[in-house]
Structure 1
Amino acid sequence: VNTRFTTAMGKQEALSRACGADRHWIVSVAAAREVVYRSWNGDVFKLNVDSNETELLLKNSTFATFKATKFAVSPDKKFVLLGYNVQPPLWMLHAVRSLSREVWELNPPEVSDSVLQFASWGVQGQQLLYVFENNIYYQANSRSFSWRLTSSGQEAAIFNGIADWLYEEEVLDSPVAHWWSPDGSKLAYLTIDDSLVPSMMLPRFTGSLYPRGTEYPYPKMGQINPSVSLHVVSLDSSSASIQIRPPDSLENSDFYVTMVKWVTRQNLSVHWVNRAQNMSILSLCEASSGACVTKHLMTSEAWLDRQVRVLDGSSPLSRVLMLHFDESAAGCGSFLFLNRFFLQKGSSMNIIWITKLVSVLNQNQNILNTSKTSPQWWTAQTKKCLSCSLFRPECSFYQAAVAPDHRHVLLSCTGKTWQPENLATCFCLTVNQQGCSYIKVFLVFQVYFSLNVFILDSAPGGRVVSERFSLGWESVLVSSDRVVVARVDGRGSAGRGQDVLQAVYQNLGVVDVQDQIAALRHLTKLPYIDRSRVGVYGKAYGGFLSSALLLTFSSVIKCGVAVAPVTNWKLCGSAGSERFFGFPVTADLSYQVGTADGASCLSSSCKLKGHGASSDTNKPLIRVCVCVCVCVCVQIFPDEGHHLVRVKSRRYMLASLLSFFRRCFEEEAAVAMETSKEDD
């Protein structure tokens, strides 16, 4: 990834001036005028953006000595935290190393050779926090004694400061469940109680004579959810702890805490969501008393999109900036946005839709933000675009990080747009363009027309039709095997209003499959598509869709891949499945949407399934396929979960995908050729 930086004052400098063009990575804003980055040869540098001078902080030989895969520099840049022997899902060993070459292990008091779960620096000086046995430990500096802030932690039962499986995957999207106050004097953290949550066995088959297993709490649809509480602890000698009370309407019911953000040194905003995920409450809470005041309440007939996270302001009383509805979004239902402004360009007027807040620059709410219609970053008050003219066409998509004094903005390039020279040709088309329910299709193929079509899909609330250039395993098929790759956004995709997004509510597996079939029928009518060689691929929800397409459209689809497909939504995590089917769970058949019952229709299709051995959503479909004597190729990866972690496993899976489609397409071509000779 080529990373550049610019400043909010208009200064544009290439970071490559300091370390060589395009030879750096892992960049972060360390202080008001400093950036810490790691070069491609592994050295860690500090860059002063005013003087453009660099200072070597850590040589790459240190990483080789400790076999470290993670690192973090302390706020005062005198120490570095090294992570080594990192094992999924959370287990880590860490060492603290002084930049003056002194090294020591990071261990809890009176515990040697401990296996830590998490470690990180605070926001001031050498503040250090780590988690051991689900309890939080704190050190005021790297040489001081540490003390335990919590004592309730229990393995696979009660989590303090870190997320359990449900919160990491479905709620917070992060293993971190603690938040520092701006001055580092307090710490807010979640306590997640999984004591009553049903457990699931994670088997391990290698490394011993007999299989071993680890149990972890895994709530499924309608089952007991973890209970959660929010606390604030003072990081002084008193270690006084205050519990932040949830709103009265959620006091005696299941709820999620989806966002915690400090507004001032004494106030924090908390986003509470009920279990059905159709009501959210944004409250402003006092850290000293735990009392909260409701600032905003939002309800919906369907679910509230996980991306709808209300954002706080900077005043002590929290003049909140929040996403709100625009009911005039081209008749497509309400559209969620933060702000908008009009920009005059010649004789035309463009609307800039603001969908994300990065930072509040001052009390006048001069904010840095991004637009719905283009991947750019703007200051709203001055209507100045910071990225529109940067390094094009080499980069068009950026991520932004703002320095503490708001005088500099770090723009990290995350991609460029498709260009004619990018190995292939691409274009977008629309299918069934009736109001807002049209289907967007993105095609990628070689300059010369290809003969095959390959369908990819997205998850509800996501988008796969994008101008961002990307290379993946399917690119090999495009460049070497003359395959057309098609990405489809139908109902359930984001960015086109709430009506389109929530069309799959209690209709999952119905309207979304209909849109995939409509797109496929349209594509097979194109003159350069060989409808005798059509393949479909999907993973997880995409695997569910690919299986459904094979069941309902098997006369056209000859090759299908379903990686860890959903065969029964009751087997999935509670927060993810209840979002689309509602809560409480009823006996309605919509909860049992799956693909296992229709496996007998697969007799005319070839199907590959790949998944980790610990995934249980695949077994019903495999069992039915065996019962009806349907030939299914199954690829199992021992000691892997839903996501393949090991590099060799991922490479083997990609090689299997390529060889599977090549073999399937070649067999169909051979059969077609033999049939043609017989007809002659």
Structure 2
Amino acid sequence: MKHLNFTLLICVIASQIGFAQKKIELTEIWDGTFRTKAMQSVNAMEHSNQYARIENTSSDNQGINLYSFQTLEKNTTIFSTEDFSAIKNIDSYVFDHNEKQILIGTNSKAIYRRSATADYFLYNTETKSLVKIADHPVMEPTFSNDGSKIAYAYQNNLYIYNIANRSTQQVTDDGKKNHVINGIADWVYEEEFSIVKMFDWSKDGDKLAYVKFDETEVPEYSMDIYGTGLYPTQDKFKYPKAGEKNSEVTIHIYDVATAKTADVNLSEFNDFYIPRIKWTNDNKYLSAQIINRHQNDLKLFFINGNTLDKKLILNETDKAYVDIQSITFQDNNDFIWLSERDGYNHLYHYNKEGRLINQITKGNWEVTDYYGIDNKNKTLYFQSVEQGSIYRDIYSISLKGKNKKRLSTQTGTNSAIFSPNLDVYINTYSSSKHAPVYTLNDAKTGRKIKEILNNETLEDKLTAYNLPEKEFVQLPTTDGLQLNAWVMKPKDFDPAKKYPVFMYQYSGPGSQQVADKWFDSNDYWHIMLTQQGYIVVTVDGRGTGFRGADFKKVTQLQLGKYEVEDQINVAKHLGQQSYVDATRIGIWGWSYGGFMSSNCLLQGNDVFKMAIAVAPVINWRYYDSIYTERYMTTPQENPKGYDDNSPFTHADQLTGKYLLIHGTADDNVHVQNAMAMVETLVQKNKDFDWLIYPDRNHGIYGGNTRLQLYTKMTNFVLNNL
């Protein structure tokens, strides 16, 4: 990445003679005009060195096709909806361990961000038989390792379906909505620990471990559902806000043969979370991660499934918080662990007794994904930001931490899907200049074997739009720290003119908006604004991710302090440039970004002329316990941290133009935030604009909703900046 000196910047100006640029229309952003081709629903098979994909077999039918990792040729269509009228669309699929059976989900209905119910069918690839595993929609059906049974959740209880005799065994019977959940995460675990399934089969399939959530004492949140009927209805669900009661969690192990359940003793813990459970490769032991409410003390236990004795294997602590990591077991039960303990996220190798064998990766850069280990060659594969925090590359390294090799060669964002035997991988590459390209690559050298799919057609289409480039730069803070940023100027930029600047950010802990990858829908909207004569800038300030733990965790206990300071200071810096109209600087963001844009307009009222806040957190006291307390502890412990940077506190400083947007069915950031902010501004006699979307969740989409939303925001920018 280069450093940008705005005062010395030499700009290449498009010739005014013959300059042509097709204008982006808002409808094009949402109607698929700029949609990229992608390899969707790709799953690497465990044993056969193939990968599976859902593809359309005709205009009315879908199929699951198997492809060879070596040749990329289609081997067979293993399942087609054309042969089974009961399945119209394939929403999801998963093979059993032996790759002889497939669980196919259809008629999916979303619950929250990650959870859903669906009708599930079991397809036998040898007998070509199709059987529905339950006469009602279920959640998270999971094969036992030997493929003889399927565990699933239904109405807060767990069940086991026996494939051979098609019988169903009920595991729990105390599940009840808003009281007890067995084996499925409650709302806050799903949202903040990114997990839905909280049960797991032992390696031999003789035991099923699960977490029980008793949310009886958790405060309840209600949302009005307006619908189209004469009277609205209400949706009520348990939502623990910061400082409030969480679900009480316990671990249980069900013995399939005896149909008896044993309870794991966790009485030494108080007010804690169980973010992960997973059986090890030793059928005897279940691993469980337990973390305290402050989330700065994580313990990894191995629990004996027979005796229920537990052994502390690893203890990870941090002065701020410990990120939850997935654990990967080797055949001998040694495991690979990710940790920030040296200040950067790196891979560590432990033996099954919990003794550290070695730190595998080291350096002032972060591992961003772990793909697996080739046990034969003792080689690990991972993704990292070693080439710069805005980039992603694929690497290999020996288990001993030697012979690290960069496999990807193109600068931008690279990700990988490895074959089961880890000899080849599918690389997905994109950058701000190159639409996604999928290639097959050799795992030893990174050499491209064959191109699978590209987006040259889209790139050719975009030449007519003569898109501006995203220029990646670094901008200084007042204390000399360099912040990653990108800048997009009008294509006919003239440094002798003065331009308004519109800033976009998110700024949440560990997040990233400045990354060298292909455009998303917001990018096309920002490009459209450059065509209207705006400069668009995005800056990742302090608290964002992939630059080390100190940079990320500096915001601890005071969310919205340094992040807001950084956006205000950058805006001031931009305002000093000769081609920027310092009286016309605006900012917008969504969710955490809405919290930020609100604060920037209020606390930086001498800098920002306008702001748009979509689905913003207005007071962290209104947000959930796991996320908020990870960074702030509880409101009872840290009231000043909660209040000092709440937009409530600074509402009387509103002088610019403010647009507040929210959906009434937002289960994540409740519309209560918007309503409280509205009331505060009303009582301060402040003029502002607001827009409420009935029955829309945190994403605010459905039908023409996104088009109308961005039309509203476009007009607000054009009229007020």
Query: Structures share a fold, TM > 0.5?
Result: yes
Query: Match of 1:634?
Result: 690
Kindly provide the CA deviation profile for residues 119-144 of structure 1, in whole angstroms up to 9, marking residues without a partner as x: 34444436323211111111132752
State which of 316, 339, 353 in structure 2 corresponds to 1:323: 339
State which of 648, 652, 663 in structure 2 corresponds to 1:611: 663
User: What amino acid sits opposite 1:86 in the alignment?
Assistant: K
Contact 2:344 2:364 in 1 (8 A): no
Contact 1:46 1:57 in 2 (8 A): yes
Which whole-Å CA distance do the structure 2 matches of 1:56 and 1:255 have between them?
47
User: What amino acid sits opposite 1:270 in the alignment?
Assistant: A
Matched, 1:45 2:65: yes
- Relative distance call for 1:186 and 1:447 in structure 2 (3 A) is farther
State which of 625, 631, 650 in structure 1 corresponds to 2:706: 650
State which of 562, 578, 586 in structure 2 corresponds to 1:511: 562
Post-superposition shift, 1:104? Answer: 5.1
Matched, 1:379 2:428: no
- Relative distance call for 1:255 and 1:430 in structure 2 (3 A) is same
User: What amino acid sits opposite 1:273 in the alignment?
Assistant: I
Post-superposition shift, 1:316? Answer: 4.3
Matched, 1:168 2:184: no
Post-superposition shift, 1:67? Answer: 4.6
Query: SS state of the match for residue 654, structure 2?
Result: helix
- Relative distance call for 1:73 and 1:569 in structure 2 (3 A) is closer
Query: Match of 2:510?
Result: 461
Unaligned stretches of 5+ residues in structure 2: 1-35, 349-358, 436-458
Which whole-Å CA distance do the structure 2 matches of 1:155 and 1:559 have between them?
44
Size of the alignment, in residue pairs?
615
Post-superposition shift, 1:296? Answer: 2.0
Query: Match of 2:575?
Result: 524
- Relative distance call for 1:324 and 1:660 in structure 2 (3 A) is closer
Matched, 1:289 2:276: no
Query: Match of 1:3?
Result: none
Query: SS state of the match for residue 382, structure 2?
Result: strand
State which of 233, 254, 264 in structure 2 corresponds to 1:212: 233
Query: Match of 1:155?
Result: 177
Post-superposition shift, 1:407? Answer: 3.9
Query: Match of 2:431?
Result: 416
Query: Match of 2:6?
Result: none
- Relative distance call for 1:255 and 1:151 in structure 2 (3 A) is same
Which whole-Å CA distance do the structure 1 matches of 2:501 and 2:242 have between them?
36
Kindly provide the CA deviation profile for residues 181-236 of structure 1, in whole angstroms up to 9, marking residues without a partner as x: 344443332111101101111221113221111211111111111111122334x4
TM-score normalised over the length of structure 1: 0.82
State which of 679, 682, 696 in structure 2 corresponds to 1:623: 679
Query: Match of 2:373?
Result: 360
Contact 1:271 1:309 in 2 (8 A): no
- Relative distance call for 1:142 and 1:83 in structure 2 (3 A) is farther
- Relative distance call for 1:434 and 1:336 in structure 2 (3 A) is farther
Matched, 1:309 2:325: yes
Which whole-Å CA distance do the structure 1 matches of 2:160 and 2:577 have between them?
63
Q: How does 1:109-124 map to 2 (within 5 A)?
A: 114-124=136-146
Q: Percent identity?
A: 21
Q: How does 1:472-621 map to 2 (within 5 A)?
A: 472-479=521-528, 480-583=531-634, 585-586=636-637, 588-592=639-643, 593-614=645-666, 615-621=671-677
Which whole-Å CA distance do the structure 1 matches of 2:139 and 2:376 have between them?
39
User: What amino acid sits opposite 1:468 in the alignment?
Assistant: K
User: What amino acid sits opposite 2:469 in the alignment?
Assistant: T
Which whole-Å CA distance do the structure 2 matches of 1:573 and 1:116 have between them?
27
Query: Match of 2:155?
Result: 133
Contact 1:203 1:212 in 2 (8 A): yes
Which whole-Å CA distance do the structure 2 matches of 1:449 and 1:415 have between them?
26
Which whole-Å CA distance do the structure 1 matches of 2:339 and 2:592 have between them?
27
- Relative distance call for 1:428 and 1:128 in structure 2 (3 A) is same
Post-superposition shift, 1:559? Answer: 2.6
Query: SS state of the match for residue 109, structure 2?
Result: coil
State which of 262, 274, 299 in structure 1 corresponds to 2:279: 262
User: What amino acid sits opposite 1:369 in the alignment?
Assistant: F
Kindly provide the CA deviation profile for residues 209-267 of structure 1, in whole angstroms up to 9, marking residues without a partner as x: 21111211111111111111122334x43234333444x7xx24111122323331332
TM-score normalised over the length of structure 2: 0.77
- Relative distance call for 1:508 and 1:214 in structure 2 (3 A) is same
Q: How does 1:8-19 map to 2 (within 5 A)?
A: none
Which whole-Å CA distance do the structure 2 matches of 1:176 and 1:336 have between them?
26
User: What amino acid sits opposite 1:280 in the alignment?
Assistant: L
State which of 6, 31, 34 in structure 1 corresponds to 2:50: 34
Query: Match of 2:15?
Result: none
Unaligned stretches of 5+ residues in structure 1: 1-20, 327-333, 344-349, 666-680
Query: Match of 2:492?
Result: 448
- Relative distance call for 1:79 and 1:303 in structure 2 (3 A) is closer
Query: SS state of the match for residue 519, structure 1?
Result: helix
Contact 1:195 1:226 in 2 (8 A): yes
Which whole-Å CA distance do the structure 2 matches of 1:353 and 1:558 have between them?
37
Contact 1:311 1:357 in 2 (8 A): no
Which whole-Å CA distance do the structure 2 matches of 1:604 and 1:559 have between them?
5
Pairwise CA RMSD: 3.3
Matched, 1:88 2:114: no
Q: How does 1:99-118 map to 2 (within 5 A)?
A: 105-107=132-134, 114-118=136-140
Query: Match of 2:18?
Result: none
- Relative distance call for 1:91 and 1:361 in structure 2 (3 A) is closer
Which whole-Å CA distance do the structure 1 matches of 2:305 and 2:634 have between them?
32
